[in-house]
Amino acid sequence: MLHPAWWTIDPCARFQLGPRIFPGRIWTASGCFAYGLTGHDMTSDDVASPYSGLGAVVTKTVTPLPRSGNPMPRLVETPHGALNSIGLENVGFEAFLAEVLPELEERGVPTVVSLAATNPGEFGAMAARLQECAGPLGCWHGVELNLSCPNVAEGGHDFGKDPRTVAQCVAAARSHLPDRALLAKLTPNVADIAGLARAAAEAGADAVSAVNTFVGLEVDLATGKPILPRRFGGYSGPALLPLALAKVDEIVSRTGVPVVGAGGIATAEDALKFFALGAVAVQVGTAQMRDPFTAARIARDLGKQG
């Protein structure tokens, strides 16, 4: 079952994405394994560590300045998924560069740095600084642009929904990242996700990550009001699987742009479905928060000896 006839790839073998060779195709998704440093003391009976077989840890998204995030509650569990409104809480880009990235390198964690900004210029400046500070690091493989944030400079709309802005952000970062993989993480909350993927690739992205969370809302029946203080949140987890597969299929079949698939993956079978549609790698999100060994188990189960 886990190794159907069409499945000929070893997801724990090295593979090339843009200018970079990654150690594998099973990754953890941004925001669901912190900065990638918390799993080193964890033990389990069946896999050596949460990092076993991983191709990359995508860090929690980092912004130019530190952010304390949104008011509580920020995470609501629903029967088939989770709704979050974390608000990009993070230590800020400079602290990340000084304290987090060197430790990821020291521990040998294959890393993709997730960046968010409010305009293309900020993305460019962060990419330039990253290259300047981290250029010699061997474990830093790439950058994922989180393009699901409000564009303050242009009236606060979600700039990741506009192909022109997606292209501007990618181009601004690309020019500073000659030898690292550059991924654009796409919002699924659009009518034409293939158009966003095409714009990202034409501006120089090596791949797109699809998908980020879907907009959702949960109501507290005791008060009759939305549970999250900001009303809406990002919906993730098992319910996303067919929705994310449809978005990935749309991108692959209409554009041919390489896709790193994400959304609802909790088992090797889930991951295989993305590979069946042509994804080049996958990311494990919400399931990784429940059990930090999930991605490592998927790598083991899909591996040659699995």
Q: What residues act catalytically? A: 149
Which of 20, 25, 60, 198 is close enough to bind ligand FMN by CB under 6 A? Answer: 60
Q: Is 173 helix (H, G, I), strand (E, B) or coil?
A: helix
Q: List phi, psi (to 5°) of 28.
A: -100, 150
Q: How far is the CB of 136 from ligand FMN (least distance, A)?
A: 26
Closer CB to ligand FMN, 45 or 194, in the complex: 194
Q: How far is the CB of 210 from ligand FMN (least distance, A)?
A: 9
Six-digit token pair at 189?
């909350």
Site for ligand FMN in 16-45 (CB under 6 A): 29-32
CA dihedral 199, 204, 210, 211 (to 10 degrees): -70
> Total residues at the site for ligand FMN (CB under 6 A)?
26
Q: How far is the CB of 244 from ligand FMN (least distance, A)?
A: 7
Site for ligand FMN in 177-216 (CB under 6 A): 185, 212-213
Q: How far is the CB of 238 from ligand FMN (least distance, A)?
A: 8
Whether omega before 136 lies within 30 degrees of 0, making that bond cis, reads no
Closer CB to ligand FMN, 207 or 240, in the complex: 240
Closer CB to ligand FMN, 111 or 212, in the complex: 212
Residue 84 near ligand FMN by CB under 6 A: yes
Closer CB to ligand FMN, 29 or 257, in the complex: 29
Residue 142 near ligand FMN by CB under 6 A: no
H or E segment to which residue 186 belongs = none
Query: Could you give the CA distance from residue 29 to residue 175 in angstroms, rounded to a whole number?
Result: 25
Residue 161 near ligand FMN by CB under 6 A: no
Q: Which residues contact 137 (CB under 8 A, 6 or more apart)?
A: 101, 102, 105
Q: Which stretch binds ligand FMN (CB under 6 A): 46-54, 83-91, 193-201, 248-256?
A: 83-91
**Site pattern 93..122 for ligand FMN (x: CB under 6 A):** ---------------------x--------
- Decide if 51 contacts 80 (C-beta within 8 A): no
Six-digit token pair at 172?
């601004």
Which of 2, 34, 86, 215 is close enough to bind ligand FMN by CB under 6 A? Answer: 86
Closest CA to 233 of 117, 76, 114, 90: 76
Residue 160 near ligand FMN by CB under 6 A: no
Q: Which residues contact 56 (CB under 8 A, 6 or more apart)?
A: 22, 23, 24, 27, 28, 110, 111, 112, 141, 142, 281
Site for ligand FMN in 217-276 (CB under 6 A): 236-237, 240, 262-265
Residue 146 near ligand FMN by CB under 6 A: yes
- Decide if 62 contacts 113 (C-beta within 8 A): yes
Closest CA to 299 of 3, 12, 30: 12
Give DSSP secondary structure letters for 77-115. EETTEEEE-----B--HHHIIIIIHHHHHHTT--EEEEE
Q: Where do contacts with ligand FMN occur on this chain (CB under 6 A)?
A: 29-32, 60-61, 82, 84, 86, 88, 114, 146, 185, 212-213, 236-237, 240, 262-265, 284-287
